Homo-oligomer: A and B are copies of this chain.
Amino acid sequence: MDSRDEMYGRFSVALAKLEACKEFAALIPEVRTNLVYATGDAKERSDVLAVEGRVTIIGGMPHASGKPVFGASSHMARLMIELRKVDPRVRAGVDFANTPALAAWLEDYCREKRWIFSMIDRRNEPDSIKEEECASMPWKVAEAVRAAGNRAPKIFYETGAIGKEPVSVLVGGDPIEVVEQVCEIARRYADER
């Protein structure tokens, strides 16, 4: 297999695991979830594999609306590309809901796992950046890294800005690992609430 086929295979396995995790449905935000997987030298959106149409909820289960396609994501793809400038080992990511209760729980969970946790306070975002959607991603990633003590975080979230649903993001080296981690979070959080 060439490397894009290899990626497609791992991504398909990861996506099937995500679709099989009932508890994750409760963590899908209004904007829906995406799962992304960047090539080892990703420079632009078309280098990032994602689910076309995002992952929604059908019959109470996570459900990929479309197929895995390179270039299918904009927001999460740009996030990957920026974050990889700080830590090139990061290749995959998934976004999910964020509420104050979940954010507090995640902070404890990350402490237990010894994972770096961070937060982007969009109230700190300069106005000049807010106005242009594409300009805000470098700032957001820089802020998440800065707030984590100049390290790439494992999990981070944004405080909601006006008109923007806050989401949490979990990143890692591989989409299967990332999905297994977010599904464990979904199951633990469902149990403990």
Instruction: Give Cα A13 to B5, complex, Å.
Output: 6
Contacts of A126 in B (CB 8 A): none
The CA-CA distance from A9 to B162 in the complex, in Å, is 39
Copies of this protein, total: 4
Interface bits A149-185 vs B (CB < 8 Å: 1, else 0): 0000000000011111110000000001000000000
How long is the Cα–Cα vector from A57 to B54 in the complex, in angstroms?
9
A3 to B: closest C-beta gap in Å: 12
A135: interface (CB < 8 Å): no
Q: Considering the complex, give the chain B residue whose CB is closest to the CB of A32.
A: B32
Indicate with 1 or 0, residue by residue over A88-118, a CB within 8 angstroms of chain B CB atoms: 0000000000000000000000000000000
A16 CB contacts on chain B under 8 angstroms: 8, 67
A58 within 8 A of B: yes
Chain B residue with minimal CB distance to A16?
A: B8
Q: B residues within 8 A CB of A5?
A: 13, 176
Could you tell me the distance in whole angstroms from the C-beta of A99 to the nearest C-beta in chain B? 9
- Give chain B nearest CB distance to A132 CB in angstroms: 13
Q: Which residues of B contact A65 (CB under 8 A)?
A: 53, 56, 58, 63, 65
List A residues 2-20 near B (Cβ within 8 Å).
Answer: 5, 8-10, 12-13, 16
Query: How far does the alpha carbon of A165 sit from the alpha carbon of B16 in the complex, in Å?
Result: 29
A1 x B163 contact (CB < 8 A): no
A121 within 8 A of B: no
A52 at interface (Cβ–Cβ under 8 A)? yes
Residue of B whose beta carbon sits closest to that of A56 = B53
